[in-house]
Amino acid sequence: MAWLAMVPIMFSIESCSYRQSFMLGWSAGFVHFTSLLYWIYYVVNHYGKVPMPQGVITLLLLTSYLALFPGFSCVIYKLLNTRWFFPSSLALSVAWVAGEYARGHLLTGFPWDLVGYSQIPFHPVVQSMDLFGVLGISFLIAFCNGALYSLLKQKRSRMAVVEVLVFVVLFTLNYAYGIHRISEIDEVISRSRPVKVAVIQGNIPQDVKWDKEFQEGTVKRYNVLTEQALEEGHAKLVVWPETAVPFYFGIDIPMSLKVLNIAKNNGIYLIFGAPGLEYHDSKPFYYNWALLASPRGRITGVYAKEHLVPFGEYVPLKKLLFFVHKLAEGVGDFVAGDENQPLFEVDGKKIGALICYEVIFPELALNKCRRGANLLVNISNDAWFGDTSAPYQHLEMAQARAIETRLPLIRCTNTGISAFINVKGEIDGIIPLNRTGYMVKEMRIPHLQSTYVEARDAIAWICVIFPVLVILNALYDKIKKSSNKDV
């Protein structure tokens, strides 16, 4: 569907003004994002205790904001196509990628389910993410839509035929690269040394997760599952989900020691999530931590979540939005970690941790890869999402990070979906949604290069330049006309 979904929008704005084009693009975006992110209502209503009317308003406000970007893309497309005479295919792909890039960065960014993620199930198509990232696939999809529009609008036009042929060439090259890269990677993987890893999915209901009466039972469940996993195959590394430890680690000493003893008694490295609390000048600072315990029962690594969830883990512009805490329960006041925190190290292998929705931000994974990570671990608590499509969407974005960095990725969640993801973005093992269980796997960690790690979003930066220039040009023309009228 993605390869032709934009064509109706292009026909609808064909003879419209810029303002009308924006409104049509915004309307299409509003419908798209509301259907895509419907689960936001479930989260704020069920767990934030926000009443139904306010919950619906919260969802609609978010989708109204996100819809601005497709609206913006439609205007840029029109400007590039009519003022600068870009072919429809090139104009749309530049405008669309610029819009998606802006969505991923403005106001802390929310690059959830960019159109390029739609191709994750088609492995040869997405291997070029190690060249251009997910936005490279978005570019190709938008180019296809623009070429189809040109062909349908002007069947006998030479330019339309050229646009279609250019797309065919681009797609063929992209697909051929994917086939070649998969074959090349398979050969490297076969020569790499495996590391045995266990992932534990506790499946603790969110409704009782933070109840003090269940704290000991929660740790006990993870202990039992860990021992069962180790009986199946002695893993060197065991991973628990985000906030698997439901208390301030290091503050509650007896409970903290129980967790450390699990690592010590089993002779394992243990990565687990826990809320953190530190005092500086008698002032409390709260963190969302991933911690690494060694086989000696000591903490050898602490990672504080860098990219916090706005209105979930902190309130942006707190002085201005002071009323948010009154509207919803459980709005946090966490402190973000530094982007250059030390990587975890297990037997000479460096591990980059990503907590929850940090995995949807390519630059966070790229930063860890550039700093020497051999493996990515994404711990999350997707219990918030319930039985919605969100955990599946979240998993697909994690798959993209493995391809972009060419690093294997271990995904461990509370209620699912936990998975082992190889460097091709393929799922080598999975624990389904809402299951209690564990998974033991020999993860191969090949040494591979990714152009995207160094080049980053170069294709997006190029695409952003044109909208900036075309907007400046339009403003200049408007000012010039206004000054001529005054004369």
User: Please, what is the angle between helix 458-486 and helix 88-103, to 10°?
Assistant: 100
pLDDT for res 208: 79
Catalytic site residue from 163, 242, 306, 313: 242
Contact partners, residue 170, CB within 8 Å, separation at least 6? 140, 143
Residue 442 annotated among the catalytic residues of the structure: no
Of 313, 322, 328, 408, the closest CA to residue 358 belongs to 313
What's this model's pTM, rounded to 2 decimal places? 0.92
Nearest 5°: CA angle at 40, between 55 and 56? 25
Active-site residue, from 78, 144, 313, 356: 356
Cα-based distances in Å from 83 to 110, 138, 160, 262, 472: 31, 24, 18, 66, 12
Q: Which of 305, 349, 368, 424 is catalytic?
A: 305
One CATH from 3.60.110.10, 3.30.70.260, 1.10.10.10, 3.40.50.2000 for 194-444: 3.60.110.10
Q: Which residues lie below 8 Å from residue 51, measured CB to CB, with a gap of 6+?
A: 45
356 an active-site residue? yes
Pairing of strands 409-413, 418-421: antiparallel
Q: Which amino acid is at 214?
A: F
Token pair listed for 299: 């903490």
- pLDDT, tens digit only, all 487 positions of the chain: 899 999 999 999 999 999 999 999 999 999 999 999 999 998 888 777 778 888 899 899 999 999 999 999 999 999 999 888 899 999 999 999 999 999 999 989 999 999 999 999 999 999 999 999 999 999 999 999 999 999 999 877 899 999 999 999 999 999 999 999 999 999 999 999 889 999 999 999 877 777 888 888 999 999 999 999 999 888 999 999 999 999 999 999 999 999 999 999 999 999 999 999 999 888 999 999 999 999 999 999 999 999 998 877 766 655 444 444 444 444 457 889 999 999 999 999 999 999 999 999 999 999 999 999 999 999 999 888 889 999 999 999 999 999 999 999 999 999 989 999 999 999 999 999 999 999 999 999 999 999 999 999 999 999 999 889 988 887 887 787 777 665 5
Which residues are CB-contacts of 475 (< 8 A; sequence separation ≥ 6)?
A: none
Cα–Cα distances (Å) from 196 to 60, 420, 440, in that order, read 45, 11, 7
- Locate CATH 3.60.110.10 in the chain: 194-444
Distance CA 303, CA 341 (A): 7
